[in-house]
Amino acid sequence: MGSLSNGHSIDIKFTKLFINGQFVDSVSGKTFETIDPRTGDVIASVAEATKEDVDAAVQAARHAFDSGPWPRMSGSERGRILMKWADLIDQHAEEIAALDTMDAGKLFQYCKMEVPSVANMLRYYAGAADKIHGEVLKTAGKFHAYTLLEPIGVVGHIIPWNFPSTLFFTKVSPSLAAGCTMVVKPAEQTPLSALFYAHLAKLAGIPDGVLNVVPGFGKIAGSAVCSHMDIDKISFTGSTQTGREVMQAAAKSNLKQVSLELGGKSPIIIFDDADVDTASQLALIGILFNKGEVCVAGSRVFVQEGIYDEFEKKLVEKAKAWVVGDPFDPNVQQGPQVDKRQFEKILSYIEHGKREGATLLTGGKAIGNKGYYIEPTVFTNVKEDMLIANDEIFGPVMTLSKFKTMEEAIERANNTTYGLAAGIVTKNIDIANTVSRSMRAGMIWINCYFIFECDVPFGGYKASGFGKDFGMEALHKYLQVKSVVTPIYNSPWH
């Protein structure tokens, strides 16, 4: 039973593993506590999946793929069931939003918009389920050839804690539409909404074994998913270091396919012609949205020297006025970091920045003595080799730098191992075009930031991973191409 800021409580209904259409205890009987980052208190005890539980979930998914109806249904029938699931999500949107707010420290007002958006993501891919087809090919010889697009099989989805609803459906929606079955390992920090979604999936009519949810820890349950010999593909979102481990496990097991959406150290480049008030607000949201726990957070901000001083002044004013507190409070702009470990990691990076000689313009401290709240933090005079300029901090910490020319800005912005996203703020179309084509990143936002749409592919360059989410590219991640060739016996050229 979790408590809300208004004194009401929410009943935590689903805390067991979801395997083969049933909520079950773990084989070991182990549980783990999921913690409310607002207070550090326990929300609920959740069944902890181990290798044996993953084996059972994979076996259920394998049977559902090899012998069950889901891959053999017409696309329109799969789409109908996904549409029903989306309707059920809409009916329970506020309850699910509260779960994510309690579990992850996300703003309740944002979660109330996020949950309906994931229902629409389901509808987007439900509409694609009956439009999966191959091609007829013209060969040079006396043969007829065509391709078939077939579901890849059993998929292992490993989901991070920063957007538990969005990233659940970013992975599950296209793979279900493709006809795959799956085992989903939600983050141990945020398992509650995934289990609720599994309950609604069963109500919608998704057959047993198609969707299995196994909360647990990455080193145990996640590792078992990645190395399992009967999983055909892994889709992982998380840190770059863990992504390397996922690839190694996939290679050492059955050489399963892998798609990775990993870390970022995304730049926002602001030119002299920008409106300073608008640009400073965009930059601030770019780092403080979701308390900086965003893979595409605009953590490195580069401002051209002509407006730098004015920009810095406005940015600091806005950062000091930013409201941090209980995420259920509609006046709050930033909630707590997801857990104690992340909280302490961010504070340690702030101390690194101070020791390395960067100038702390504002913030830098924890707030209160209960929960995991951190002040919006901005550093300047940051050198390129500093830890805070290179590592993904994943918190409300910005590095602010001055540049002279467009060429300098491009070079410095690209000087990172990551390549997930970048922002450009300018009124000059030539600058916008040149910089957007010069950035080595998978998503470029011009005069905006954090704009995601179902039909716009998203994914990284370099150490930010490979494989696209959203759009038809995401659907094709879960399909494989089969070529079929047959002689044209009655051809006049035979």
Strands, E assignment, 225-371 = 233-237, 257-261, 267-270, 300-304, 359-362, 366-367
Query: What pLDDT tens digit does each residue of the chain (494 aa) get?
Result: 455 544 546 789 999 999 999 999 999 999 999 999 999 999 999 999 999 999 999 999 999 999 999 999 999 999 999 999 999 999 999 999 999 999 999 999 999 999 999 999 999 999 999 999 999 998 988 899 999 999 999 999 999 999 999 999 999 999 999 999 999 999 999 999 999 999 999 999 999 999 999 999 999 999 999 999 999 999 999 999 999 999 999 999 999 999 999 999 999 999 999 999 999 999 999 999 999 999 999 999 999 999 999 999 999 999 999 999 999 999 999 999 999 999 999 999 999 999 999 999 999 999 999 999 999 999 999 999 999 999 999 999 999 999 999 999 999 999 999 999 999 999 999 999 999 999 999 999 999 999 999 999 999 999 999 999 999 999 999 999 999 999 987 655 55
261 is catalytic: yes
Strands, E assignment, 66-205 = 136-138, 143-151, 154-158, 181-185
Sequence spans of domains, the chain: 2-262+460-481, 267-446
Domains 2-262+460-481 and 267-446 share a fold: no
CATH hierarchy code of domain 267-446: 3.40.309.10
* Cβ atoms of residues 48 and 26 within 8 Å: yes
CATH hierarchy code of domain 2-262+460-481: 3.40.605.10
Which two structure tokens, joined as six digits, stand for 448?
A: 């905006």
According to the model, what pLDDT value does residue 489 have?
Answer: 75
According to the model, what pLDDT value does residue 488 have?
Answer: 86
Annotated active-site residue in 114, 188, 261, 392: 261
Structure confidence by residue, pLDDT tens digits, 211-254: 999 999 999 999 999 999 999 999 999 999 999 999 999 999 99
Give the Cα separation of 420 and 264 in Å (integer): 5
According to the model, what pLDDT value does residue 6 have?
Answer: 46
Residue 396 host element (H or E): none
* Cβ atoms of residues 37 and 338 within 8 Å: yes
Give the Cα separation of 34 and 26 in Å (integer): 16
